[in-house]
Amino acid sequence: MALTASRYGKERVRVLRLARDGEHHTPRELTLSVMLTGRFEAAWTTGDNRAAIATDSIRNIVNVTAAQNLTLDAEAFVAAVAQVLLETYPQIEAVAIEAEEIRWLRHAIAGAPHGHTFTRDGNGTGFVALTASRAGSTLRSGLRGYTFMKTTQSGWSDFVADRYRTLPDTTDRIAATSMDATWTWASPPPDCSEANARILQTLLTVFGTTYSQGIQDSMYRMGEAALDAVPELAEIGFVMPNKHYLPIDLTSFGLDNAGTVFLPTDEPAGRIEATIGRTA
């Protein structure tokens, strides 16, 4: 029997590169599929792996290339990864890379682009719910899956320390979430669209411009600010799961990761919920 076609590689290699220029940060997030074609037939036909490159090595090459090329656009970055592979391994004949980019849009606060607060392109969906009877009605509005992050000014420390804890304290981390927010109207505002936009802008301003001791801390202050900004609101509820970006350890490659290369993860994720209402 003949082996007529073969290739292998690593899929869903996720990496966030964060270029820091003082207080001005630029995130670049990619998910890559890296596939190799070459003189690897013996791994299939005779179980001989001497020419085979571990797919873990492919992932490491992506991460090292990311650390050394923080500002390249997606097109130039995949070319850089392919070049490293071709220069390192003579048994590779061709490299095929596909990359999907999550585009982070710089958020404007008070009309000025903010240095480290971002919203995801193509973001979220609006939400409306009405419960009505002859006795009255309750109207709710909100957002589902609205994703945003800030690349500094967030920490998580002084939490329970016991034999199960492995997470260290940190005072500077990426804070990101995909928010479901639902606000209940005490009375409908004159212009719901304008009021909804004002609520969102208030939430993002508090999130982006104040230090966060944790998602819980930001969530409560965001809710307080929304209630202050829009008097027609009765309460606002949040579901805000953590979207973790974990610093990648590059010390094995002689590189110091000074908060510039991260592994994006979706699961498992922390899930934080709260409702903030007006006091009587």
User: Would you state the pLDDT for residue 272?
Assistant: 97
User: Would you state the pLDDT for residue 146?
Assistant: 98
Told to judge if 55 belongs to the known catalytic residues of this protein, a careful annotator would answer: yes
CA distances from 239 to 16, 89, 155, 183 (A): 24, 47, 19, 12
Q: Which two tokens stand for residue 195?
A: 């009021």
Extents of the domains making up the chain: 7-134, 146-277
Q: Looking at the domain that runs over 146-277, which CATH code has it been given? A: 3.10.270.10
Q: Which residues are annotated as a binding site for urate?
A: 55-56, 173, 216, 242
3-state DSSP assignment of residue 242? strand
Told to judge if 119 belongs to the known catalytic residues of this protein, a careful annotator would answer: no
Q: Which two tokens stand for residue 139?
A: 């109207």
Identical fold for domains 7-134 and 146-277, yes or no, is yes
Out of 26, 31, 37, 55, the active site residue is 55
Out of 25, 177, 244, 260, the active site residue is 244
Q: Which residues are annotated as a binding site for O2?
A: 55, 242
CATH class for the region spanning 7-134: alpha beta
Told to judge if 10 belongs to the known catalytic residues of this protein, a careful annotator would answer: yes
User: Would you state the pLDDT for residue 280?
Assistant: 74
Q: Do the Cβ atoms of 234 and 187 come closer than 8 Å?
A: no
Q: What kind and span of H or E run contains 230?
A: none
- Write the DSSP symbol of residue 124: -
**Which segments in the chain show pLDDT lower than 70?**
none
Q: Which two tokens stand for residue 38?
A: 């070459």
Q: Which residues are annotated as a binding site?
A: 55-56, 173, 216, 242
Closest C-alpha to 38, from 18, 17, 52, 21: 52
